[in-house]
Amino acid sequence: MQVTSHKNPQKVELRQEQGKVREYFLRDNITEEQVENEQGDLVTQYKYDEVKVKLVNRANIEDYINNNFYLLFEQGQLEEQTPSNPSQDERILELEDTILNLLGV
């Protein structure tokens, strides 16, 4: 999914941990541009592709993600295309993330 944010994104970000399962945001094609805000000031804006992946925690998980980044990113894209019935917790997380993006946090 294409995302626009005023916050400089991390390429890999741990979003949530539930027991042994971790949810990560993976971001690629990060670009930075200057845009004019409502007050007419120039601000930095970032655009990037973002997917979510869930992985079972293991030793050296960060190395695993970095070594398999594009494979995991593709897996996340395929999961996005598959319709699902999100749980209440997943819907709340999505809402929280949307609010944070709107606030520029």
Per-residue H/E/C for the chain: CEEEECCCCCCEEEEEEECCEEEEEEEEEEEEEEEECCCCCEEEEEEEEEEEEEEECCCCHHHHHHHCHHHHHHHHHHHHHCCCCCCHHHHHHHHHHHHHHHHCC
Per-domain residue ranges of the chain: 2-103
* pLDDT tens-digit readout, 45-77: 999 999 999 999 989 999 999 999 999 999 999
Whether the pLDDT of residue 35 is over 90: the answer is yes
* pLDDT tens-digit readout, 36-52: 988 999 999 999 999 99
Reported pTM: 0.72
